[in-house]
Amino acid sequence: MEIIRNPAAMTSWANRVTATGAAIGLVPTMGYFHEGHLSLMRAARKGADHVVVSLFVNPIQFGPNEDLAAYPRDFARDCRLAEAEGVDILFAPEAAGMYPEATKTKVVVSGLTSGLCGGSRPGHFDGVTTVVAKLFNVVKPRIAIFGQKDFQQLAVIRQMVRDLNWDIEIVGHPIVREADGLAMSSRNSYLSADQRRTALCLYRAIRHAGERVRQGVVDAELLVAEITEMIHSQGGVEIDYIALVDRDSLEPLGVLRPGTLLAMAVKVGRTRLIDNDLIC
């Protein structure tokens, strides 16, 4: 596995590869790899001739009071894990390389970014779409793999690719969970043992929602109220949002229908966790 730090060097490599007709698969990450990341790398390997994993803790998608400085990092470990998965290139640029001082451009997707995480993290998705657009231009992938745990992010990136006529296949990969159901996340490393158990309220909420749908419940407001009460009864959890939305438009629903997504964000201690599931 080769490590490339410079965006121009990354593009030079990509140009040589694509000139041969070979396909590049990109897995954008912020590092601190877990099994969820590794599953994305395997999916990229199945869909492309060469796999590039980007490792970049993107400063412009963090708010002023968020965890940019504290975000978990272990570059040596990440290198070992990526190499073991057969990754060809680990692209790990510095912030100054991605955002030179003269940078005056950002990429904005409207509409899809106004609710859910976009509602509570102003500017977050502008940072996401800008860095992903830059990665697409630098790496030149034919396919890019994103985890469905960040479902809104996936929807926003798909919209950006359609709107800007990029010839890139965007693949959403299913959430990878721990044995007890907790969605894998680099931020899980922040949790104490007690907080880790508390965080399982998200998976219990998903299971409850699925059971209620099987029982015939279609009233979205009723189901949100039940989940809210369930999570509040846990204690030690601050709810950011609990929403039942259309999987494509991300618009809130009053009545459940096929394609309904349950999306949640909570804080356990100081750790913000998200989870989601298509419940019907």
The set of catalytic residues is 37
- Coil, helix or strand for 279? coil
Cα–Cα distance, 187 to 195 (Å, whole number):
12
The encoded tokens of residue 169 equal 């296949």
Q: Which helix H or strand E contains 29, and what residues bound it?
A: strand 24-29
